[in-house]
Structure 1
Amino acid sequence: MKIFLIEDDIAIGSALLSVFQDEGHSVVWCRLGGDAVDRVKAEHFDVVLLDLGLPDGDGVDILGALRAAGQTMPVLVLTARESLQDRLAAFAIGADDYLIKPFAIPELLARLRAVVRRAGLAADGHEPEWKVGALVLNERRKLVALAGETLALSKTEYGLLLTLLQQSGRVLTRAEIESRVLPNSDGKTLDVHIFNLRKKIGDGFIRTVRGVGYMIEPDEG
């Protein structure tokens, strides 16, 4: 995997560089954001790790410039900004995941693999699939099957299921889900789509966390 790391902190950057190299990855480390967009446009990277608090600009602006330039590689934000507003802003612009500092290295590596897998870049060459019990979602073919039977989901239902599966094991707030799948929701639309999705896939997959949002438990098999 080829990683582009945009991080100004020398201690963090050096540590991550060592970790990624030990994992067998190729890493380009940039401490300033000024040349980041041109570097990404000129050279192929499988994933970008982006700090938001850079000395020469805001990482959010870099993220926006990357997406505006047509760059579609996954971007994992690494930042000390922990407010929901900051997370939603990053997701709205095009972040694929958001990890708050300080973080554990095993979690970072797990999230890194997840965003790359979601982008269809799995090193084993298999099609990117998400599976929980008898429920399977194939991203490349955009197919959902339950016990081998293909389900007919609407675009919104598919987006909801994919979002929950991508973050299985973690409670997604209503605001997070709406920002990714239903940006123009009136606050009630999400419940309707979740209800309709449950009717199609069954009640045993999506768990409601009252007062917070929804989640899917990871497959332990």
Structure 2
Amino acid sequence: MILLVEDDVMIGRTVVQGLSARGHVVRWLRHGAGLLDVLIVGGIAVVLLDVGLPDGDGFALCRAMRAAGHTMPVLMLTARGALDDRLEGFDAGADDYLPKPFAFAELAARVAVLVRRSAQLLPPPIAFAGLTLDRLTGEVRRDDRPVVAEPRTLALLGELVRARGAIVPRQRVIDAVWGEDAVISDNTLDVAVSALRRRLADVAPDLAVRAVRGQGLHLVVH
């Protein structure tokens, strides 16, 4: 999964849509405050980190990531493209640095390089009840065959597989599938859960998504 930390809505939407179209699962944070919490949960292959965030400095966040032991590649995004700024980014622990404005094709190419690098750092896939989740791509497989579904359905399934049967709070599901600060109604989440249930009925009929009132969702074995 790619984690994008960017407060500019236009840039954020362009990056999310473009990378999703290239097969990446992307989670978008509009503030830096939740970054370390997301990394603790796991499953992040690459971080795209804006320097000028409304609640903090991207360089400081990158240093905090490295201090906490997170080793995934970081690509800094910023309008500050002077040499001293780039050097500060590398000193903070960044792996790459892309000044704004940038061409999406260049961003995608740099992300592809970092994703390949990240593959050498990530632990083995997460396995639960015959499903495996690739921590790098977000792909879910059953019996060595990929589960093909709409991106949000796959993101929802991946979050439930990551929990290995434990209950995932509804808000965490929303954050993982739609992004932090997304305004999602209960009906929207229910529609996504229904789509996942239909997909599981085809590819993994021994599994079901169960909703626990007041708590969240989890995968169960029939």
Provide closer, same or farther for how the CA distance between residues 33 and 20 of structure 1 changes in structure 2, counting only shifts above 3 A: same
Question: Aligned-pair distance for 1:40?
Answer: 1.1
8 Å CA contact 2:4, 2:27 repeated in 1:
yes
Provide closer, same or farther for how the CA distance between residues 96 and 73 of structure 1 changes in structure 2, counting only shifts above 3 A: same
Partner SS for 2:49: strand
Q: Name 2:60's counterpart in structure 1.
A: 61
Q: Name 2:30's counterpart in structure 1.
A: 31
Q: Name 2:96's counterpart in structure 1.
A: 97
Question: Aligned-pair distance for 1:43?
Answer: 2.4
For structure 1, which segment, 107-116 or 56-65, has the greater mean C-alpha deviation from structure 2 after superposition? 107-116
Q: TM-score scaled by structure 2? A: 0.53
Q: Name 1:88's counterpart in structure 2.
A: 87
Which portions of structure 1, spanning 4 or more consecutive aligned residues, are displaced by more than 6 angstroms?
A: none
The alignment status of 1:44 with 2:56, answered yes or no, reads: no
Aligned residues: 121
Give me the whole-angstrom Cα distance separating, in 1, the residues matched to 2:19 and 2:29. Answer: 15
Partner SS for 1:28: strand
- Specify the code of the residue in structure 1 equivalent to 2:77: L
1:158-173 equivalent positions in 2, closer than 5 A:
none
Stretches of structure 1 that go unaligned for 5 or more consecutive residues are 123-221
- Specify the code of the residue in structure 1 equivalent to 2:10: A
Q: Name 2:105's counterpart in structure 1.
A: 106
Give me the whole-angstrom Cα distance separating, in 1, the residues matched to 2:15 and 2:119. Answer: 24
Partner SS for 2:43: coil
Which deviations, in whole Å up to 9, do the C-alpha atoms of 1:85-122 show, x marking residues without a partner?
Answer: 11111101210000001111111111111122234459
- Specify the code of the residue in structure 1 equivalent to 2:48: L
- Specify the code of the residue in structure 2 equivalent to 1:67: R
Question: Aligned-pair distance for 1:61?
Answer: 0.9
Give me the whole-angstrom Cα distance separating, in 2, the residues matched to 1:51 and 1:69. Answer: 19
Give me the whole-angstrom Cα distance separating, in 2, the residues matched to 1:43 and 1:30. Answer: 15
Q: TM-score scaled by structure 1? A: 0.53
Give me the whole-angstrom Cα distance separating, in 1, the residues matched to 2:86 and 2:94. Answer: 9
- Let me know the Cα RMSD of the aligned residues: 1.4
8 Å CA contact 2:46, 2:118 repeated in 1:
no
Partner SS for 2:10: helix
Give me the whole-angstrom Cα distance separating, in 2, the residues matched to 1:119 and 1:3. Answer: 11
Q: Name 1:72's counterpart in structure 2.
A: 71
8 Å CA contact 1:6, 1:33 repeated in 2:
yes
- Specify the code of the residue in structure 1 equivalent to 2:61: I
8 Å CA contact 1:4, 1:29 repeated in 2:
yes
Give me the whole-angstrom Cα distance separating, in 2, the residues matched to 1:33 and 1:22. Answer: 25
Higher relative contact order (CA 8 A, sep 6+): 2
Give me the whole-angstrom Cα distance separating, in 2, the residues matched to 1:26 and 1:119. Answer: 15
Partner SS for 2:36: helix
Give % identity: 51
The alignment status of 1:16 with 2:15, answered yes or no, reads: yes
Which deviations, in whole Å up to 9, do the C-alpha atoms of 1:139-175 show, x marking residues without a partner?
Answer: xxxxxxxxxxxxxxxxxxxxxxxxxxxxxxxxxxxxx
- Specify the code of the residue in structure 2 equivalent to 1:59: G
- Specify the code of the residue in structure 2 equivalent to 1:15: T
Q: Name 2:217's counterpart in structure 1.
A: none
Give me the whole-angstrom Cα distance separating, in 2, the residues matched to 1:50 and 1:72. Answer: 14
Provide closer, same or farther for how the CA distance between residues 87 and 16 of structure 1 changes in structure 2, counting only shifts above 3 A: same
